[in-house]
Structure 1
């Protein structure tokens, strides 16, 4: 009888050890939930990508990794969320690389240098190649994992005062800028008054006349309804902004190797989907905005390029010259 009891106790102990070994973070049977925060509306580029990423991650991992999306800056401004990702209280974010993010990773100011890119092909060759990888490596130095780039797009200038055809037309306008050094120099090159405003407060700033204008890609102007408070869009295409995708090291460490690989695959597949989806929307958005009373102009881009040729000097201490030259080549 005693031998039988001893055998039972031994079997129970063995089962307990096996059960404990299988219950670690990121292992089979566990669900890891990734909290992804962004500042866009539910139709913004950030959200379109976040939803596709969520779908792909949950499908690829069989539900062992789930994604919880928090849009509309509900967890704080872009700057707030970047800090939260670094301290691990938020797991992921996607944010314009040349916005508040450039205050943490200074090299990202490179995307605020005017007319650095010729077209989308030039952009994607840069982001998908060695230069893009090098910049993501800079992210890794700040307690975050750089996972890739989604789309924000080529940026255009809007205002509520007048049509813009030349740089002289921008003089005197109060233009909202992203809180990164390159943007103040950019607007001053036109004779505008650069005014930092958090993205989540921009609509009300435009509506109340705190600023006369702003600059963003057409999908952003549409999704955030800036066209309701801006009469004029100048298709300047002065810079291109990628949406850098980052995860806290804390969250990355909760995933096992297979899950990490699948998350990276999901980011990459989302990038392709995102680019194709937004490319199809551009003309539709312009038609919609024109129907809503917005006037479009096609400015002299050569004149804008000439006016801003020295802006790169403003960020020379943060953006190495060889990085700029590599991108140009």
Structure 2
């Protein structure tokens, strides 16, 4: 019985090419009590591996968080399996706006302590006492209200390429970093302002809204389904799109466009650009924004040093990496002294 992925990304990509089948990229989450996470994890892997599901799924005692792709012909079978799990029946599926058959190249189902690394002690507050969920139409109305404070609950490299008009975008590296900063900055408005939050698909706001209510904020709202669902509703209902730029996503696509606005700059030359790439030097792999001209000039690298290393024969590069972990820069997405025009 296979319980783990056995194919490399390259092998899987070849199989996808050979199959010639459309795939659907989607995401979902659900907070629920899961007793034996390892058994549940294995159950998901066995069934989804049979359906050729690929993606990254986190399972914890508090619930499940999944980003994945499914062959289009297998979608109904996948949905039936989800519905067979009591707490996942009719769970909202956020379907990606821009599809890519290679958005994921492996099936990874991992047991974690939490489905989102929030750093919170959930025993200290009622995580079920969440904010009011609002759809795109109500969200648009709320953010036009002068008594509303709109907050982006994502990290700096996400909001840099796209965010809602007028939103506060904390310059943070992690979700946990933003929680205390936002509370401190808005402490004078716990009683009198609407605190409206949004994130990619809604999961971060689920916990954050309960946390802020615990901290004394009286009027807490969250965008139901996040940016992904907002974009779908705006298109479906013909609503005014208040979002500027791209929505960062955590798969091989890296982003999907929500509006034609380009609000960020190439980190190397400063010209308007919102294309995230990873440095081609595998010892670096820094995530940053790079325009096509700089990509050609720098051989898809973030610095001259990385360009020189990347030009070496593969075996020499491998020898240089031997015994060394990846630079900490890999965890500081978009932050490096070599990036002259980081926003």
Q: TM-score if structure 2 supplies the norm length? A: 0.29
- Structure showing greater relative contact order (alpha-carbon pairs closer than 8 Å, 6 or more residues apart): 1
Structure with higher Rg: it is 1
Q: TM-score if structure 1 supplies the norm length? A: 0.30
